Each structure stands twice: as structure tokens, then as C-alpha cells.
Structure 1
Amino acid sequence: MTDFIDPVLTFIAENPSLAGLICFLAAMGEALFIIGLFVPTTVVLVGAGTLIGLGKLDPMPLFIWTTLGATAGDAISYWIGYAFKDKIKSMWPLRNYAHMIESGEEFFKRHGGKSVFIGRFVPGVKSVVPGIAGMAGMNFTRYTFVNVTSALAWTIAHIGPGIIAGSALGAIGQISGRLALVLGALLLVIFLIVLLGRWLILIILPLFPNTHSAIVGWFARREDRASQWIARNFDPAHPRSAGMLASALLLLICVPSFFWLVGEVAPGEPMVRADIAILNLFDSLRTPVGDKIMVFMTSLGDGVVVSGVTIGVAAYLFARKAWRRGIGFVIAMAGTAVFVPLFKLLLHRSRPMELYAGADAYSFPSGHATLNAVLFGICAVLIAHDLSRWAKASIFTVFATYVITIGFSRIYLGAHWMSDVLAGLFFGTAMVAAFAFVFGPIHNEKIGRTTLAGIVALTLTAVGGWHLYGNFDKALLTYQPRTNTEVYTVTGWQETGWQSLPARRVELNGDREEPLVIQYSGTLNQFAEFAAKDGWQLPPKWSLTTASGFVEGETPPDSLPILPRSQNGRQPDLVLIKKDPDSHKSGRWVLRLWPSRYEILQSGALHPLYLGSVVHEDILRPMGEFSGPRTDRHVPGASDNPATLIPGAVTHTRADGTEVVLAISPDETAGPSKTETPKANSRGR
């Protein structure tokens, strides 16, 4: 996986001025009037700070560029407000965000000139306050002073955390680059989910300001009881209609998504192959330190911890005489606890590893993901009830991060397939939405939000700490990586075993791609040496120089880097290219060898078995200005498969007519790949 990250880091490191320009544009874009809602500045600046922490960028130029961008953006917004005044409220599409302009005006009235400084750090108003200052006619000299000083502080606040994160990832990377990649992937997943939620609330919904009223009006004109009930409860004038509408939409999305996944995990479906590929990907990224982190998180999601927090929350609700919410909470948790094992018994889907007994031995859906989503989702609903939307967003972000991390740990540890966790999150979210829909409108049951949050935190800490203290070492053994290697003798492999190996490459999304026409056992160096005799060579590495070849119309085929491809979640261990011998053609052959879970017992030693594809890429040159590789042949001829160059290679024909070459390295001095013979495993990876 580092093959994907290193080119990006190298590109930025070689172009610091370009990185500064990107930060300038991002900082300016977020400060522009209303437009700033659409600009993902946080990910850009935190990412830039991370690269500084990793030692890839010089901090001072980036700091200057970002500060200038923030200053310029606010200055432009001030000018827009100064030039157009109140006309802004009636201009399209700004009129769809009138509520935000009104919030900015209230903020400016309350804080005066210092709102320019404060507002830069307040979500929801930071993209409108400079324009409001212009509309109010704030003195430009005074505004400029506040603008520059706030831009300095804002830059530090955004780049600083990235520098800390980059330094931490760099330190972790010194221990293990794979661990740093896993943690980075987790943070990316959480960030994207939070970002999508933010865009939905701030950007998408305001674009349809009259849709809510139109739908409610349609139901109000109907005379049946159901329509009248919907019209009353979803009336925009109703103080809780927006929350009920959001809950109803979540139900309409999550319930069908759950049952769609049920159909997608049937044998032979692409989702099943995608699950295996993703499991292999995480297997390749596992490290001892990463295992400890993920076991810690997955243990916090165990049944004993969930039960402890459930009892604590239920006891508090009943003690406060919040009878309906308390009963609803207990019904939701008990119903989920019954539903999960019953559905597992109904579906009978095997886990990636043998873990539990009884109904829990089955996999779909993930009990950890489902129960924790319901428990902490309902807690978030109760704590965030009747708060401002930004307070709600913050609370749901914290709880969602916790639940997603637990689900992530189940996939990383191989305890569940990815689809199991997704199904659990969908069902859990649907249960939370149903709870919010039914019990959200209740306003006569007073609950201390701070007290409830404290009970959740204290119970989780006490029960989780006790559970971890007594079971952490045992859990580490339970979730330790499983060996799933199958061993063939040379004869068994060449006679019949080759037919049981994958015939086609499997993408991460489960799609079957080009045929795997090579099965090779031995050292990669020796394979490359034999292939070199027929013109095969290593491709150029990714860099600014090689990447620029894609935008030049005269780039030779052997000067373009290779686009990455995975096989069942694994990255290739060897990539070779061969330019077309005919100078009138503009193409190349590309060979990739991926590691497999098979090994060949040869001369008393175990040798890894690699699976390979050989495809032909034609270099397209539209308008003579670009060079783009396009795969036009997925199956090579006999003379184009370099495995045939190895002495003793054997060719077999599959049922679909494709030929696969079996080859063994003649170098029998290569050491064994493992010190002991692993047990065969039947999970089909």
C-alpha cells in the first residue's frame, strides 16, 4: 500500500511551491462569502500540516501562503458585502442561504468588530461574517487589522494539529509503516463520513428550501387520517418536524440498504469476493502494535461492556421517570439483541475465523457493529435533544467516531467481513432513527444531558476498564493472525492443484478481471532475470518527471509508470514491462506477479507461489497532447508470456480456453519462506 502513498508524498515534496499555491487557494476559498461552505479546507490544511510533520514540506512558506490566502478571501468577502449591501439576500443562489446570513448578522450585532476575529473559528458563520462586516460599513483599516491577525491565528489552528499528527505518524512509521497506514485509513473513513454529514446539513438541504412545505401541503390536502397525521407532525412550523423528517429519511435509506446487503452476500455474488479481497488487504497491513490498538477497541464493544452501559442508561432514565423513553430504549436494545442472533441463524454465513459457538459462530450481521450503533446512537439522540444543530453535529460526530472505530476493528482483526459490519451499521442506524422518530417529539420528560453523558462515560470507563484488565491478553491470542496457507507438492500442483487456484484477478469491489495466466514458484529475482532475456524490464517509478509523461503526446510506452492493480486485496510483488518490438506500434506488455496463499514444497523447502497476469496496453494519444494507456488485450499469446522462458515450464488449458503457464525457479538454493508448515484453511482467500 505504501506504493500508493509514496508517489503523492514525493510529488508534493518535489513541488513545495505548488503545495503553497494549493493551500493559498483552499484558505481563500473557505473565506469567500457562502462559497466557503463548499471548500474542504480542513482536509487540505491538516493534510499539509501532516506532510510538514512527516518532514516532506518546509513549514514557513506554507504558513505564509495559507495566511495570505485566508486574508485575501476575507477581503474579497468584505468587498462583496460592501458593494452589494442588502441586495445579497435576494440574489440567487445566496437567497437559499438567507438563514445563514441572518445568523451572521445576529453574530455581528452581538460581538461587533471582534466578530471578524471570533467568527473565523465559528462553523456556520465564518463564511458570512466578513461580508456582513462589509454590509455594515465597518472601517476598512480596522477590518484589515483584525483580518490579518485572525488569519495568523486561524492558520496556526489548522496547520498545527496536522504537524502534530504528522509527527506522530512519522514516529509510528518508524515502528511500522503498515500501522501508520491503517491508522491513517481509519481517520480518513471517519473524516469522510463527518464531512458528508456536514455538507448535507449546510449545503444540500438549503438548496431545497420549499420542498418540505410542498410535501407537507400535499398530505394536508388529503382527507385520510394518515395523511392528516403526517401533515400535522411534519409541518415546518412544528418545532421538531425537521428531526422527525431526518429520522424518517434515515429509515427509508437504511432499511432497504440492509436488505440489499442480505441479497449481495449470497454465494457467488461480487460482494463476497470483495469481502475476501478487503480481508486480505487488512491481513497484509497487520502489525503487533496495530493488533493491540484494535483489540482494545473491539473489547470495548464486547457484550459485557454494552450490557453495563445499557443498564446504567436505563436505570437513569427510569430514575428520572422518563418512562416512555426508558421503555423505548430497553425495547430497542432488547429487540436488537434478539434480532442479531436470530438473523445469523437464518442466514448461516460463516465468519472469516472460528471465534464463537452457537448463533454467534455465524457472521451476518456484526453484533458488535449493530449493538454499539443502537446503544450509542440512542445515547447521542438523548444527549443532543433540543440543542443547536452544531451542538448536535458535535455530539453525533463523537459517538459516530467511536462506533465506526469498533466496526473498523472487527474488519481489521478478521472477526467479520466488511459487509457484516456495514449491515450492522445500517440496521443499528435504522433502529436509532426509529427511536428518534417515535420518542424525539416527547418534551415533558426532562433528562439531564450532562448527567447522562457522564453516566455513559463513567460506565464505559469502569466496565470497559475492568473487562480489558481481565481479558486483554486472552483477546490478543483470540484475534491473532490466522495462517491460511495451503501447501502443494510439485507433482500435486502440476497435475491437478493448478485448477483450484484463482483463474481471474479479483478487484477490491469483487469484480473479476483479466485471466491469471502465470503460476510461478520461486524467487522473483530469477524470474526477472529470465524475462530480461526477452526484453522485459522494470517500469519507471512514479515521480513528477514520469507522471508528467501522461500529459505529453510523445512519451514512449516504456517511459510511463504503471497504474496500480490489486489481486484479491494484495499488491503485486513484481511488475515488468516490454515495449512492442514493432516500432510502428505504440504499446507495451505489462506483467504483474501477486503473492498468493499457496506454497510449493520443493526439495524439502517451502517456496511461495505467485499468480500473474500479462496484458497489453495501447498508448492512446488524443490530439497528440496526451499519452494514456488502455488495456486492449487481456490474454497474451504463447510468445508473449515470459513464464515460458523458464526451463521446465508447463502449459495447461482451462475450460474457458485460456492457457496458464506453470513454472518453477531452477534455483533450489532459495531458503524456505516459513520455518514450519502452516495448516490449510478453507476460507477461500
Structure 2
Amino acid sequence: MDDLITWINSNSSLGILLAIGVLSMLESLAFVGILVPGIAILATLSWFAGQQALSLPFMLLSGFIGAVIGDWLSYLLGRYASHWISTLPIIKRHPNWLTEGQRFFARYGGRSIFLGRFVGPIRAVIPFVAGSCAMPPQRFLVFNLLSAACWAPVSLLPAYWLGQQAEELQMTWNIWLQLIALLMFVAVLFQAAHHQLEPGNWLYRYLHPFAEHPHRQLRTRLFATSMLATLLACIGVRLYWALPSWEHSTFERMQSLPEHLLPTITLSTLPGDGLFLALGSLSTALLLWFYRHRSAALCFAGTVAATMAINTLLKLLFDWPRPAIGQQLYESASFPSGHAAGAAALLAGWAVLMAHKYEARTKRRIYLATFALIAPVALSRVLLGVHWPLDVVAGSTVGLFFAALLRWQMDQEGNYTQPTAFRYWLGAGIVLLSLGYALWRLPSAISFYAG
């Protein structure tokens, strides 16, 4: 570790970014990742990158590219050199490396590329196994891009964030523990309720009079009802208590983050930008239209459009003032948050398309992963000082309500089926659109929110 610190201190910022890329590649490279403690070294490098205030987008891009290259090389080795590699002495001494990877791949198929990226030693074996099993390269590439895009922030951001201003974070640890606990509670509650609504479980049996007709879609109806009830509760608070003391206190406590976190927070808010919503909904609708799902294409575009229309109408009705910073940056009203509403509708709409026709367990995983993407968008609006906490809660419920209506409409169409290629193209399109938009928009967005 002392040698690593000396090396970092004597080299440029470019050296740190290159080292992150190389180690990300080695962490994913066939069998090498098992032997190299890549995660520990990457965490150290990310901490130094945060301490030296290196560019966050470039750090994430470096990790992303390295991870993609590592998996792709492993795939090529498995496809063209699996027989030779399996005869190597180190592989013969550890046959469980391949057997566990083959078992994991046989169980999850293409999804194992994504899931394996986050599972210890399996990470360095699954791409090799996929290549040896002659998985189509186009299909592998889509999973490779998706998994790397999710892996890079998860693996690099925490250490980078801590390295920026660790001493200043001590002032705000309490509010963050509370927020994390709240988000975990919501996720666990959704997981438990979704599971209990499967046939045979007690909640399903209790609600059997409503569930005996399949077209009633119990889960979707309950979720939409809960979102509508939450929105009405937020409206009730605004009408009768205006700005409660607890909401004002929470807002103030969330404003004491270090300025170094502005790029990260700004990056989190970009999925709610109007242009991103337009590009995302239009491109998805065109893809659905190309696959002859014209009704679904119109419904998807209508989901985002209706969300923003209702959100705008509520803004005009309540005309609730933004916090001081928000009034300097925006002329529109505060309640509800348009960014939170739009991002929730678009991201949840994508999740509905991805999860359609899958079994309940897979759907839960997709929905929970989407929740982990929607929550930062909502939180970023409060952290940037442009919305009150209740604004983002109300906005998110509006978007999720219309996403539930999209799910209901798709289930109503019994003949709606998705070819496997649709999900691959949709996933790849989401990743490329998100990366391209972030690289293009982030610098100007940082300047905008910095005031």
C-alpha cells in the first residue's frame, strides 16, 4: 500500500484514471480477476481521485471502458481458446472455478453476465464461460455494456465520495443514515408485498375476492392505488400545513454537503431533464413501433407526456414557491417536482418493458434496481436546493402512477409479446443514451446549478 501511495503522489491525474481503467479490466479478465485484489485497489484509487477532485465523469468512463474490455477479452478467450486454457495447470488445480461459473451460467443464462459482474470470483469466469458456450456476440455485448455501466458507479463512487471531503461528511452523517434507512424500508416493504401477492401466500388469499379474476391485475392496481394515495397525502399536507417544520428542518440539514459533491449530485438529476425525457420516450416509442407494437409505442410516449402534463397542471394549481436557490434558477412553481415525476415515469416505464412476461422474482429484481435509480434523482433536487422534500415525493408518485397504468395497459393486450432482441436493443439504447447525454450535458448543468 505504501508503494501505491508513493506512485500516486508522483504521477499525474491521467495516471490515476489510466490505472483505474487497467485495474477495472484486470478485475474482469478471465481468471486474472480471481487472483488480483482489484476491488480493494480500485477503492484506494477512487479515494485518491476524490481527494484530488479529479473529473467524476472521466473516472466513471475509465472504469466503464476497462470493465467492458476485460469482459470482452474474456469472452473472446472462451470462444476461441477455451480448450487450451482449460488444460493450464492452474485451471486443473482449481476445477471449481469453471464448474461454478458453468452452473451459474446454466441457471441464469444471459442475465448471468449482468449478475456475475457483482458476484465475487464469478465475475472473472462468467464471460469466459459465455464465450465457450458460443453465446452470440451481439447478445453478450449488450449485457456487457449494461453490467459495466452499473458496476462502475457502484464500485467507484463510494470511495470517490469519501475521498472528496471526509471530514465535512461528519456533520451530515445522521440525516444520511435516516434517508438510507427510509429508502431501505421502502424497498423491503415493496419486496415483501410483491412476494405476498403471489398465489398461495397469505396476502393473496386475503385479497382473493379481488384477485380471482386475472384481468384485474391485483399487483398493478394496488401499486397504482398506493401511489395515488401518497400523492393525495402530499397534497393534503400542502393544503393544511403548508411547509411543516420537519420538512423545513430536513431540507436545511440536506444543504450542508461539500461543494465537491456538486458534479455527482448534478449527474444524478440529469435523467429528469426535459430533453432527456423527450429523447428517451421518443426513441423507445420508435423501437416499439419498429417491432410492430404500435399500441405499446403510443402508450409509452403517452405515459411520459401525461406525467408531465399532470405535473404542470398541479404546479399551476398550487403555485407553491421554491426554496430561495430554486427561485433564482427557475421561474416555475415547486410542487410537485417535474424532474422527479419525469424520471420516475421514464425509468419505471423502461422497467415495465424489461420485466414484461418475466416471472415474479425477476420482476421484483428489475423493479428494485429501478427504484435505486429513481431515488437519487428525487434526492438530488432537494440537495441542489431547488425543491422541498415533499415536492419530490409527490412528483415521484405521479410518475410511478402513470408507469403503473402503462403496465396495466400492456397486460390488457394479451397478444403483446417481446422478442428477445427487443430487450437487448432497448438496454443498449438506454446505456448509450444515458452516457451520451451525461457527457454532453453535465458540464453546462454543473455551471447552471453552481449559480
**Range of TM-score over shorter length:** 0.5 to 0.7
Question: Which residue of the other structure, out of 282, 288, 293, is the alignment partner of 2:254?
Answer: 282
Residue 209 to residue 430, structure 1, CA distance change in 2 (3 Å): closer
Which structure's residues are more often strand, by fraction?
1
Give the counterpart of 1:208 among 200, 203, 206.
203
Going from structure 1 to structure 2, the CA distance change for 1:164 and 1:450 (only over 3 Å counts) comes to closer
CA distance in 2, matches of 1:315, 1:347: 35
Work out the CA distance in 1 between the residues paired with 2:160 and 2:439: 25
Q: CA deviation at 1:472?
A: 3.2
Q: 1:311 to 1:215 in 2, by over 3 A?
A: closer
Q: Secondary structure at the match of 1:318?
A: helix
Letter in 1 for 2:366: I
Larger Rg: 1
* Correspondent of 1:272 among 232, 238, 244: 244
Cα separation, partners in 2 of 1:196 and 1:172, compared to 1, 3 Å:
farther
8 A contact 1:349–1:362 mirrored in 2: yes
Q: Give 1:212 deviation, angstroms.
A: 4.3
- What displacement does 1:441 show? 3.6
Cα offset, 1:414, TM superposition: 1.1
The DSSP-based 3-state class of the residue aligned with 1:365 is: coil
- Which of 424, 428, 442 is the aligned partner of 1:450? 424
Tell me if structure 2 keeps the 8 A contact 1:172–1:180: no
Shift of the 232–164 alpha-carbon distance from structure 1 to 2, 3 Å rule, reads closer
The one-character-per-residue Cα deviations of 1:146-186 (angstroms, maximum 9, x if unpaired) are xxxxxx999xxxxxxx9999877764563532488376666
Partner of 1:638: none
Alignment map for 1:532-547 (pairs within 5 Å): none
Determine whether 1:412 maps to 2:394.
no
Q: Give the number of aligned pairs.
A: 304
Correspondence for 1:174: 166
- Whichever residue aligns with residue 192 of structure 1, its letter is F
- Alignment pair present for 1:424 and 2:424: no
The 8 Å contact of residues 380 and 396 in structure 1, kept in 2 or not, is answered as yes
Counterpart for residue 88 of structure 2:
none
- How many angstroms apart in 2 are the aligned matches of 1:170 and 1:429? 32
Residue deviations 1:397-443 (CA, integer Å, cap 9, x gap): 22211111010011111110111011111111111111111222424
Q: Does 1:318 align with 2:318?
A: no
Q: 1:291 aligns with which of 262, 269, 289?
A: 262
Q: What is aligned with 1:517?
A: none
Matched residue, 2:438: 464
C-alpha contact (below 8 Å) 2:293/2:416 kept by paired residues? yes
List aligned pairs for 1:351-500, cutoff 5 A.
351-353=322-324, 355=326, 361-447=332-418, 448-469=422-443, 471-478=444-451
What is the CA distance between 1:276 and its match in structure 2?
1.2
1:258 and 1:426 in contact (8 A); partners too:
yes
**Contact conserved, 1:383 with 1:450, CA < 8 A, in 2?**
no
Asked whether the equivalents of residues 211 and 218 of structure 2 are also in contact (C-alpha less than 8 Å), the reply is no
Which amino acid is 2:249 matched to?
A
In 2, the alpha carbon distance for the partners of 1:358 and 1:281 equals 21
- Write the distance in 1 (CA, Å) between the matches of 2:189 and 2:442: 34
Partner of 1:192: 185
Residue 336 of structure 1 corresponds to: 307
Amino acid at match of 2:238: V
Structure 1 CA distance for aligned equivalents of residues 286 and 166 of structure 2: 47
| Counterparts of 1:163 and 1:380, CA distance in 2 | 23
How far 1:251 sits from its partner (Å)? 1.8
Q: 2:316: which partner in 1?
A: 345
Report % sequence identity: 18
Query: Match of 1:233?
Result: 215
Give the AA of the match of 2:447.
K
Q: State the 1:266 CA deviation.
A: 2.7
Cα distance in structure 2, aligned partners of 1:204 and 1:445 = 23
Task: In structure 1, list runs of 5 or more residues that go unmatched.
Answer: 1-49, 51-113, 124-151, 155-161, 218-230, 235-243, 479-685
Q: Distance in 1 between matches of 2:315 and 2:260?
A: 32
Larger helix proportion of the pair:
2
1:307 and 2:316 are equivalent in the alignment: no
Q: Contact conserved, 2:351 with 2:370, CA < 8 A, in 1?
A: yes
Structure 2 counterpart of 1:507: none
In 2, Cα distance between the equivalents of 1:475 and 1:358?
8
Residue deviations 1:439-467 (CA, integer Å, cap 9, x gap): 22424334312221221221122223212
SS of the residue corresponding to residue 332 of structure 1 reads helix
Q: Is the 8 A contact 2:306 2:402 kept in 1?
A: no
Q: Is the 8 A contact 1:380 1:395 kept in 2?
A: yes
Q: Structure 1 residues 251, 462: CA separation in 2 closer, same or farther (over 3 Å shift)?
A: same
**Would the alpha carbon gap of residues 209 and 340 (structure 1) be closer, same or farther in structure 2, given more than 3 Å must change?**
closer
Superimposed CA distance per residue, residues 110-131 of structure 1 (whole angstroms, 9 cap, x where no aligned partner) = xxxx99xx89xx99xxxxxxxx
Go from structure 1 to structure 2 and tell me whether the alpha carbon gap of 1:214 and 1:296 turns closer, same or farther (over 3 Å shift): closer
User: Residues 250 and 389 of structure 2 are in contact (CA less than 8 Å); yes or no, is this contact kept in structure 1?
Assistant: yes
Residues 321, 327 of structure 2: 8 Å contact kept: no
Deviation for aligned residue 1:192 = 3.0
Higher RCO by CA contacts (8 Å cutoff, separation 6 or greater): 2
**RMSD value, Cα:** 3.7
Name the residue aligned to 1:250: 223
Cα deviation code 1:227-278 (max 9, x no counterpart): xxxx3624xxxxxxxxx21110012211122122112113645x53222111
Could you tell me how far apart the structure 1 residues matched to 2:251 and 2:366 are? 31
1:464 aligned partner, one-letter code: A
Q: How far apart are the structure 2 equivalents of 1:473 and 1:248?
A: 39
Q: For residue 259 of structure 1, what is the aligned residue in structure 2?
A: 232
For residues 80-132 of structure 1, give each alpha carbon's deviation from its aligned partner in whole angstroms, at most 9, with x where no partner exists.
xxxxxxxxxxxxxxxxxxxxxxxxxxxxxxxxxx99xx89xx99xxxxxxxxx
> What TM-score does the superposition give when structure 1 sets the normalisation length?
0.40
How far 1:187 moved relative to its partner? Answer: 4.7
Cα separation, 1, equivalents of 2:445 and 2:416: 40
Distance (whole Å) between structure 2 residues aligned to residue 210 and residue 318 of structure 1: 39
Listed as ranges, the matches of 1:660-671 within 5 Å are: none
Residue type at the aligned position of 2:206: T
Separation in 2, partners of 1:428, 1:280: 26
CA contact (8 A) 1:354 1:361 kept: no
TM-score, length basis structure 2 = 0.59
SS at match of 2:244: helix
